[in-house]
Structure 1
């Protein structure tokens, strides 16, 4: 895990996150960033590379639902410094792989599946489809400067435990390598973290999100 989270890497990751979703790029906000997401259940997100006074003061000012505060810190450290109206979300993990992922030797595309590719702005999409045109797995890689950001890696429940996600990641990596990029970054869930670790990824930083649920008494 990095001794100190790089402000530059977080900014590149957040730019990629925004490009992947085709929304406005992040804006600087004090020592962090602000993204106007514009979704019903996520109006705005603020992201801070560290737990500091800017983050804590903002948590005291906001009393509106569906505005997310995100920070590179553990859930316990966040819980102790923000007002009780905030709800801690499931743990996230910023992960990096600054170099090639583990070998493809054990990864293969099972019979009955095929690959499809799409691209928009600087986002490349890889899909694994069944021979009945059903989407089994999908993921994106976005190139921002010298960083390849992997985003929205999803395998449908009835297609899991077949190695599809690992194969998908290696296909996405090929796109990054074709752009001479070998610095890889993503945010994982608890479930995804195990897969990425098996492929040579390492924990970069814990990543905690909080939000005020609707109808919360302030």
Structure 2
């Protein structure tokens, strides 16, 4: 059985996220984990499954590098007062899980679906018959669980069932690879789709990044 405590679910999420994005192994901290990401606008992230004001203020005080992110599993309104100038709030997220099962969805008329797996990550690409991008997504395998990441549908192709097609195909690919639990952090828009597919919400997530030019 998967660990259903928030800290356990968050650990499952970051284990798969680092595979999906090529991040460093998570570094254990008293309050959670630090991950080196290595991008100009996303140098590193600190992940706190149960953030306290004292821990967040300590991290903020020690942060001087632009592109440092905080992933705090709490409501935006609760944690925003704990950070100072220069910290910007991204859209809210939601930690969700779902039992995985085999599935074999077919692309609707007018679309083609391609899927492949490399380096522990399965990807799905949906295109129009003439090759135009329509939707995509990926899922990272991490033992008995898998983490969904970077699901998107082009604006001109929304409300046609392509998001569900991508998700069901990813879930089936992960199940074929031996995973039995899916984990993700979804946007408010994605949450509606995922809920309709059997995903359960466990916690909100506030996402902030440090950009000193935003101090004013």
TM-score w.r.t. the length of structure 2 is: 0.88
Cα offsets for 1:124-176 (capped at 9, x unmatched): 11111221122211111112121121111111111111000101111111112
Task: Note the C-alpha offset of 1:18.
Answer: 1.5
Cα offsets for 1:154-199 (capped at 9, x unmatched): 1111111100010111111111222343311111111111111111
Task: Note the C-alpha offset of 1:100.
Answer: 4.9
Greater mean alpha carbon deviation, residues 119-128 or residues 60-69:
60-69
Q: Compared with structure 1, are the counterparts of its residues 172 and 216 closer, same or farther at alpha carbon in structure 2 (3 Å cutoff)? A: closer
Task: Note the C-alpha offset of 1:7.
Answer: 2.4
Task: Note the C-alpha offset of 1:213.
Answer: 2.3
Task: Note the C-alpha offset of 1:75.
Answer: 0.5
Task: Note the C-alpha offset of 1:5.
Answer: 4.2
Is the Cα–Cα contact under 8 Å of residues 5 and 205 in structure 1 kept in the other structure?
no
Structure 2 residue aligned with 1:123: 121
Give ranges in structure 1 of 5+ residues lacking alignment: none
Cα offsets for 1:68-119 (capped at 9, x unmatched): 1111111011013222432222111111113559x98xx7522121111222
Structure 2 residue aligned with 1:65: 66
**Whole-angstrom distance in 2 between the partners of 1:171 and 1:98:** 14
Greater mean alpha carbon deviation, residues 53-62 or residues 126-135:
53-62
Structure 1 residue aligned with 2:97: 96
Task: Note the C-alpha offset of 1:51.
Answer: 1.0
Specify which of 141, 165, 173 is matched with residue 143 of structure 1: 141
**Whole-angstrom distance in 2 between the partners of 1:200 and 1:217:** 41
Is the Cα–Cα contact under 8 Å of residues 100 and 172 in structure 2 kept in the other structure?
no
Q: How many residues align?
A: 212
Is the Cα–Cα contact under 8 Å of residues 86 and 213 in structure 2 kept in the other structure?
no
Q: Give the secondary structure class of the aligned counterpart of 1:215.
A: helix
Please state if 1:204 is matched with 2:202.
yes
Give ranges in structure 2 of 5+ residues lacking alignment: none
Greater mean alpha carbon deviation, residues 25-34 or residues 36-45:
25-34
Structure 2 residue aligned with 1:166: 164
Is the Cα–Cα contact under 8 Å of residues 120 and 140 in structure 2 kept in the other structure?
yes
Specify which of 152, 155, 172 is matched with residue 154 of structure 1: 152
Is the Cα–Cα contact under 8 Å of residues 5 and 49 in structure 1 kept in the other structure?
no
Is the Cα–Cα contact under 8 Å of residues 28 and 34 in structure 2 kept in the other structure?
yes
TM-score w.r.t. the length of structure 1 is: 0.88
Structure 2 residue aligned with 1:11: 11
Q: Give the secondary structure class of the aligned counterpart of 1:73.
A: coil
Q: Give the secondary structure class of the aligned counterpart of 2:33.
A: strand
**Whole-angstrom distance in 2 between the partners of 1:151 and 1:130:** 22
Structure 1: 4+ residue segments shifted above 6 A: none
Please state if 1:55 is matched with 2:63.
no
